Structure 1
């Protein structure tokens, strides 16, 4: 087999020819073409509706976790009832398939809760339509609670326009748009509470998922995606940061993570694979917008609602604007030196939020339309040679076309080469496992591609 570059693709990507001279990729579904349905979803995302959602959330005055729950116009209770009502309205307009409800628990007194407090997430579920995929779930979230300088201050105005009405508005918009479409796998749109008190809402739902053994194949957290303007005044509306953890910092390493380290796969955790997929798909569907993958769990020594999912072994990432302005986060509303301090809607860029929402929506659509990532992917190591023999378990989806092997240099962040190998469960590729990192993806007949699975050694 020989490989040659093809000018119509990125220079690093190679299409390989089989020994008989036929191009192996000719028989493959087109995996780089735009899917019309995903293009339509991206097109439907509206910055005007997102602005309306942000301003409505701000209108509740404060959404602090311990704020008023009785009033219809102020406090976190009014906010969550409005969110639930809006999601129900969108679901009804889309045909009634969107299942909307509360996920609630009472959290005891702790460092950031002065009294037992009901923590309520608003959860909208769009069930998958393929029997073999309906149990596979993709979760997207934003937190709707807010705060000022004193995290225990539950009465002062805390508009939280960026942190995190921006993420909440993006999730509502995605749910309303995507409820009008059908996907093989299940999508879960969550607006969670008590992020500012210690990720309490997200942690409760993630723990429930782990106890019930739900198949969460990916979690996307949107937190502080509202502003394109940095603290020094410069504007960057062309990229978003995507934080993606590698090997988790735990005392006792799991066997799977130990195998990653032993084979040089530190950058091939399930979360890094999810981030690669989001970057590739997001940049394909959202023109002139970059997804900048950051090799960290979160901002330096900070955390977000994806963290409880990571702690329970799920693939989870965080979207955040490229340059934060801390005068507009966690601040009492005031004026200093002739300028306003606080997290106000006038500092949000609604077109930018829409761009980030489009990246989310394209990625979620692609994931939920594609087959599951291949399971039990292994490298056979019985022989010492310069080929790499890969084996994997067959997928169950009825629309599966086959599988795709991807590879990259050990120093490269993204996949550089790909070869469609058809509907088989093993393949010998003439590239050395010493020199390259590999992955196996499942491909359906429409060209939807799964996240890659890193092969572990089969001794």
Structure 2
């Protein structure tokens, strides 16, 4: 009996729940700084530009996409005043070639980008959060009619700007990028331009969070009103999966464990920790059925990316001309939005972004030993470079489960878990003393 007690005690102290379950006071403070009135003010301002259609007027000072871009940059410049010189902004102009579809002529367009420089010159990681600035009405080619775009996607731009305002007052070790992209409605062109630039310049993008339509809680047709859930879309098989990676995926049945799926689960964990009354609904597809968003070009270029989107869409207030028919009002106006819902989703973005921004790098060479047939599982990995690691979380779930069910905290770079790899999936993440965790990595077989 004494021996059993000693073994139990050793096991208890070797594996325990990680400190990621403890709140970081600074992240809680930042989350509390997200204000409903700020988000509403931004959305209302964006609506005043009449239309933000990609092909709308770029010279007018009060109407069109050009005026909106200049205003977003002016707000970024205000945030920069409290950043000790670390936040810079620009309007990144580029030429869209006519595509014979939704771009009729060669057109100059632009993304509005704010970059918060990191404090560690040796840490080349990058995080990106985005919303698309352009809007549309019923006819996707009508650049003159009013297209207020309050929810689609004034909501995503407002969330991104609120993150920039709050986070620019703090210091983070590596680069954070806040961007209002253009051309989403015409073909994801702004995101494509930025993703291709990032790939060409070898950016080490840890994660890209796309926010598109996150401010409506009422669904058309069904009449459902729900502001307690938000969808996070994530791809299954990476676009740039190699032949060897494909073989490993099939051999280990890791179809639901792509880097983007790990990011989605990470968001669910952190949101549960920091945001009340908001559940992350993990949707296991790249985007809505046969559709796409600004995260798609990033995934197509090999980066880890997801999309936040409201749980129920209201098609009366999406891609519609402003009008009233049969007593039904159509159009994407602020009066149809739920700004408390938008606040909560913005908080989920902020908690995720800040945790990742303060996290150590992920462990490397994460593997699971298969040299012997056992009813336990031995995982091994190497410590990451850079910021010191307090320990590691080993995450575990049943093969049929969408989300992690158990967390084991360990200090070493090797651990044997008394659960069979035949019955469970595992992943490993680095963690610092304040509970900031890296993205989890799925182990590869080690013979």
Asked if TM exceeds 0.5, the reply is yes
Name 2:319's counterpart in structure 1.
330
Report matched runs for 1:73-222 at 5 Å. Answer: 73-110=62-99, 111-132=101-122, 134-222=123-211
Equivalent position to 1:59, from 30, 48, 52 = 48
Equivalent residue number for residue 12 of structure 1: none
Mapped partners of 2:419, 2:17: distance in 1: 21
Corresponding residue number in structure 1 for 2:420: 432
Q: Could you tell me how far 1:396 is from its partner in structure 2?
A: 1.5
After TM superposition, the structure 1 = structure 2 runs for residues 310-329 of structure 1, keeping only pairs within 5 Å, are 310-329=299-318
CA distance in 2, matches of 1:18, 1:269: 36
Cα contact 2:16–2:407 (8 A) shared by 1: no
Deviation at 1:26, TM superposition (A): 8.0
Q: Separation in 1 of the partners of 2:50 and 2:184?
A: 18
State yes or no: 1:455 paired with 2:440.
no
Of residues 227, 238, 242, the one that matches 2:228 is: 238
Q: Residue 260 of structure 1 contacts residue 269 of structure 1 at CA under 8 Å; is this kept in 2?
A: no
CA distance in structure 2 between the partners assigned to 1:432 and 1:159 by the alignment = 55
Quote the residue 1:34 is aligned against: 23
Say what the alpha-carbon RMSD is for the aligned residues.
1.8
Counterparts of 2:288 and 2:129, CA distance in 1: 19
Matches of 1:256 and 1:99, distance apart in 2: 38
Worse-superposed segment, 204-213 or 28-37: 28-37
Deviation (angstroms), 1:453: 0.4
- Structure 2: tracts of 5 or more residues without a match: 1-5
TM-score in terms of structure 2 length: 0.94
Partner of residue 308, structure 1: 297
Q: Displacement, 1:400? A: 1.2
Deviation sequence 1:401-437 (CA, Å, 0-9, x none): 1222121111111111222220x32223332211111
Structure 1 residues 198-239: Cα deviation after superposition (integer angstroms, max 9, x where no partner)? 000000100111111111011110001111111143321111
In 2, distance between residues paired with 1:26 and 1:429?
Answer: 9
* Residue number in structure 2 paired with 1:5: none
Alpha-carbon distance in structure 2 between the residues aligned to 1:18 and 1:349: 54
Structure 1 unaligned residues grouped into runs of 5+: 1-16
Kept after mapping to 2: 8 A contact 1:29/1:444: no
- TM-fit CA distance, 1:153: 0.8
Q: Choose the corresponding residue for 1:443, options 415, 426, 431.
A: 431
Is this contact kept in 2: 1:119–1:200, CA < 8 A?
A: no
In 1: Cα distance, 2:186 partner to 2:193 partner: 13
Secondary structure, in 3 states, of the residue corresponding to 1:213? coil
CA distance in 2 between counterparts of 1:322 and 1:105 reads 34
Shift of 1:22: 6.2
Alignment correspondent of 2:59: 70
**Against the structure 1 CA distance between its residues 214 and 254, is the aligned structure 2 distance closer, same or farther, given a 3 Å change threshold?**
farther
TM-score of the two chains, using structure 1 as the length reference: 0.92
- The alignment of Structure 1 onto Structure 2 pairs a total of residues equal to 440
Tell me which moved more, 361-370 or 443-452.
Answer: 443-452
Distance 1:389 1:25, change over 3 A: closer
Conserved 8 A contact 1:206-1:308: yes
